[in-house]
Structure 1
Amino acid sequence: MATDVLTRTRGRVDAYFGVSENGSTMRRELMAGTVTFLAMSYVLAVNPAVLGDQGALGDKGIPIQAVFTATAVAAVFGTLVMGLWARYPIALAPGMGLNAFFAYSVVLEMGIPWQVALSGTFISGVVFFVLAVTKIRERILNAIPMPMKFAVGAGIGMFVAFLGLKNAGIVVNSDATLVTLGDFTAGTTLLALFGLLVTVVFLVIGWHGAVLYGIVLTAGLGIVTGLVDLPDGIAAMPKGLDQTFGQAIAHLPDAFTAQMAVVILTMLFVDFFDCGGTLIGVANQAGLLDEDGKLPRAASAFAADSVGTMAGAVIGTSTTTAYVESTAGVSAGGRTGLTAISTAGWFLLAMFCYPVFAVVAGSPEITAPALIVVGVLMSRALGEIDWNRLEYSIPAFITIVMMPLTYSIANGLAMGMLFYPVVMVAKGRIREVHPAMWVLTVVFLGYFFFLAE
């Protein structure tokens, strides 16, 4: 009797997710989810390091244990929604780049409290959801020229890598030249260089989870050399959400300002196109696109991403989005939402391992190599830009270079968006500029004249 029930249950699960239909097996799906988790679990250490109050933000940051718990919960919730609703082998978690924008541009540069920044994140998720379930999604996707989409991704990669180099002590402040080479005799800098070296080696030889393995080895060497403290334990009950849960809703009235409008627009823009690119890229690798090259159940997939963002903001973390590391699970055979559910299960278990991740999150020299490598991976979009077409390459270059040099993703995005219509008009191609681009031009002009410092 029990065998019959199990058989029927397996059959229903198979039918709902289309496991056999997509040429996979349940065992393969579960293993693929494990591979995806290994590839992206570094977020549990890096996100608290970026957003937490023990890093560059200091007392302006979110309590670090709350960030860790919120990161894990957001990953579990968002990934489950993607797996159960959209049924794709794609995992979600607080996004790299978007968390840097939240921390360094919004909280540190603009001086906006993290509670209000969470409200902005929530609003961006709501707007994203509306776009996802309507035909406006397609119009927006077509409104922004591809070179600018690639430039934003590459620029964020440069910014994230710059943060990593700074945290590692490889690049330091200089009164004469703004930045210069750091002290390579310092123990923490040497530890970061070791971490960068081993992580790069692991990536080059094709190890799934290369970033995680690099973090583990770097932390181990740090503990052996006395540069990093031993963790207080291995497991602990999740806590800290009482400090962050609901803050996004409570501070919603404070988010309706001109300054926050630019913040929300930037969050929405980056998440919308990052999600779209990730979804198409992962689905294409998995062979899940239809005959026309379009993504089936696209509305559900986009909506799942937006729901993850809203939930993550309410819980207490920056924008939750689809992770390109999901390709690791796809390469291991994952084809359905069961892969995502498996990944969510691992994040649920990891939620109880705060003492271990806390040591890593509180040591910037350990997480710095991860930021540098993630920046490199994001910057691959540079190769997609047609550098021989000046009407594309000039605004793209300005977008990319302004992000790290002004220490602001918003500044780079705004500057590039201002230059694009100008060069297109000069080229005699004004008809190719979408009306939405002119609206953005006005918005970002206002940003520079009235809001940017």
Structure 2
Amino acid sequence: MSSENTAAPQSPKAEAKGALDRYFKITERGSTIAAEFRGGLATFFAMSYIVVLNPLIIGLGKDASGNALGVPQVAAMTALVAGVMTILMGVIAKQPFAMAAGLGVNALLATTIASTPGLTWPAIMGLVVWAGVLMTILVLTGFRTAVFNAVPESLKVAIVVGIGFFIAFIGLVNAGIIRRMPDAAGTTVPVSFGVSGHLLGWPTLVFLFGLFLTIALFIRNVKGAILYGVLASTALSIILEKVVPSGSSVKSPTGWSLNVPVWDSNTSKLPNFSLFGSADLFGAFGTLGGMAAVLLIFTILISAFFDAMGTSVGLATEAGTIKDGQIENVDKVLLVDALG
């Protein structure tokens, strides 16, 4: 790559069409409203797994008293927060980023913090609120933005790669390609390939069908390739479960892992928002004492602090919203992330 400035002559920029176009700089970034709509749908279907996975982690996890939040309630709140914060990300930060519950913090809460003696789920969620408040203060004072800009580009890219591998791992587990294989004592969780080394079951077939269909469409430059792959896989899974039921992987090794794809009366039920506002802001302080509660808040804060860093860089690179190595409106992106 030459060190000289050999940029090609710039072609005249197309004029924006309407207030919506001008506000979000859609034409200026070389996109169209139709393309943004397709991208939004693809993002929705690609991220909707969190509405199932987060309730399985948080909703089924029990606190020290043996109480659980419930899957329907957590699913409703997961979807509500994701929807509201995604809209705010677009309106305030003007970035085409979708927001949802992170897989790092929820696992920390369910597997580690929830086991703390005396802590209830409302008290645990109170700790999360305090971590968000501190994060917001760090953003407003410019500290988090300064740290964001100070982190080397290579480390930010490495975070993107790590997140990608983690999500890919979840997909392979859900497809039945990677399976949990606990030892006799149940203390470790090694993994195995398929069922006794063989790829079996309709979930694996649906995964491979969707993967290769998406790759084929992408290679042929079909707009919305990911969206079509997700929709086709979803339709195929519902049809297969209706014709040749596989059930849950809990009962059969060749069954569906996270959720059985059925369309029944429960699919169209109204959401349960009973958990809204149920966080206990001072419960952990009364139970554990100030120092222990502050340490837990700090743990959550550190886990969430760098969570958006790599993701934002990866998304902004694809969206073309990085200028001179910096994300446009990065302070507002981090503010919305902290509020979420």
TM-score by length of 1: 0.53
Alignment partner of 1:235 is 2:268: yes
Alignment partner of 1:23 is 2:53: no
Alignment correspondent of 1:41: 48
Shift in CA distance, 91/165, structure 1 to aligned 2, threshold 3 Å: closer
> Which residue type is aligned with residue 329 of structure 2?
R
Secondary structure (helix, strand or coil) at the match of 2:226 reads coil
Alignment correspondent of 1:287: 320
Shift in CA distance, 158/14, structure 1 to aligned 2, threshold 3 Å: closer
Alignment partner of 1:125 is 2:143: no
Secondary structure (helix, strand or coil) at the match of 1:234 reads helix
Deviation at 1:264, TM superposition (A): 2.5
CA distance in 1, matches of 2:29, 2:133: 32
Alignment partner of 1:62 is 2:69: yes
- Preserved CA contact (<8 Å) 2:159 2:310: no
The alignment's C-alpha RMSD in Å is: 4.0
> Which residue type is aligned with residue 301 of structure 2?
L
Write out per-residue CA displacement over residues 192-213 of structure 1, whole angstroms, 9 at most, x where no aligned residue.
6556655665676565256786
Alignment of 1:314-393 (within 5 A): none
Shift in CA distance, 30/161, structure 1 to aligned 2, threshold 3 Å: closer
Counterpart among 97, 102, 107 of residue 109 in structure 2: 102
CA distance in 1, matches of 2:165, 2:113: 18
Write out per-residue CA displacement over residues 391-423 of structure 1, whole angstroms, 9 at most, x where no aligned residue.
xxxxxxxxxxxxxxxxxxxxxxxxxxxxxxxxx
CA distance in 1, matches of 2:213, 2:53: 18
CA distance in 1, matches of 2:66, 2:18: 53
- Preserved CA contact (<8 Å) 1:79 1:91: yes
Alignment partner of 1:300 is 2:332: yes
- Preserved CA contact (<8 Å) 1:39 1:212: no
Deviation at 1:190, TM superposition (A): 4.9
- Preserved CA contact (<8 Å) 1:170 1:184: no
CA distance in 2, matches of 1:22, 1:143: 26
Deviation at 1:280, TM superposition (A): 1.7
Higher relative contact order (CA 8 A, sep 6+): 1
Counterpart among 32, 36, 56 of residue 39 in structure 2: 32
> Which residue type is aligned with residue 184 of structure 1?
V
Deviation at 1:226, TM superposition (A): 5.2
Shift in CA distance, 145/121, structure 1 to aligned 2, threshold 3 Å: farther
Shift in CA distance, 92/178, structure 1 to aligned 2, threshold 3 Å: closer
Deviation at 1:79, TM superposition (A): 0.3
- Preserved CA contact (<8 Å) 2:175 2:207: no
CA distance in 1, matches of 2:319, 2:233: 27
- Structure 1: gaps spanning 5 or more residues: 1-9, 309-453
Counterpart among 184, 195, 205 of residue 195 in structure 2: 184
**Number of aligned residue pairs:** 291
> Which residue type is aligned with residue 26 of structure 1?
I
Alignment of 1:247-262 (within 5 A): 247-248=278-279, 250-255=280-285, 257-262=290-295
Deviation at 1:159, TM superposition (A): 11
Shift in CA distance, 214/61, structure 1 to aligned 2, threshold 3 Å: farther
Shift in CA distance, 253/59, structure 1 to aligned 2, threshold 3 Å: closer
- Structure 2: gaps spanning 5 or more residues: 1-16, 219-224, 249-259
Shift in CA distance, 184/82, structure 1 to aligned 2, threshold 3 Å: same
- Preserved CA contact (<8 Å) 2:175 2:204: no
CA distance in 2, matches of 1:197, 1:27: 29
- Preserved CA contact (<8 Å) 2:160 2:310: no
Secondary structure (helix, strand or coil) at the match of 1:80 reads helix
CA distance in 1, matches of 2:293, 2:206: 37
> Which residue type is aligned with residue 51 of structure 1?
I
- Preserved CA contact (<8 Å) 1:133 1:300: no
Write out per-residue CA displacement over residues 268-317 of structure 1, whole angstroms, 9 at most, x where no aligned residue.
22322121211122112222111x21122111110011111xxxxxxxxx
- Preserved CA contact (<8 Å) 2:89 2:336: yes
Shift in CA distance, 30/194, structure 1 to aligned 2, threshold 3 Å: closer
Alignment correspondent of 2:7: none
The percentage of counterpart residues that share the same residue type is 26
CA distance in 2, matches of 1:177, 1:71: 30
> Which residue type is aligned with residue 276 of structure 2?
F
Counterpart among 161, 165, 173 of residue 183 in structure 2: 173
> Which residue type is aligned with residue 72 of structure 1?
A
Alignment correspondent of 1:135: 142
Higher helix share: 1
Alignment correspondent of 2:304: 271
- Preserved CA contact (<8 Å) 1:194 1:218: no
Alignment of 1:80-119 (within 5 A): 80-108=87-115, 112-119=119-126
Write out per-residue CA displacement over residues 336-388 of structure 1, whole angstroms, 9 at most, x where no aligned residue.
xxxxxxxxxxxxxxxxxxxxxxxxxxxxxxxxxxxxxxxxxxxxxxxxxxxxx
Shift in CA distance, 72/40, structure 1 to aligned 2, threshold 3 Å: same
Deviation at 1:144, TM superposition (A): 6.9
- Preserved CA contact (<8 Å) 2:126 2:281: yes
Deviation at 1:109, TM superposition (A): 7.0
Write out per-residue CA displacement over residues 110-139 of structure 1, whole angstroms, 9 at most, x where no aligned residue.
774322221121111111111122221244
TM-score by length of 2: 0.69
- Preserved CA contact (<8 Å) 1:133 1:303: yes
Alignment correspondent of 2:226: 208
CA distance in 2, matches of 1:27, 1:166: 32
Secondary structure (helix, strand or coil) at the match of 1:21 reads coil
Shift in CA distance, 160/115, structure 1 to aligned 2, threshold 3 Å: farther
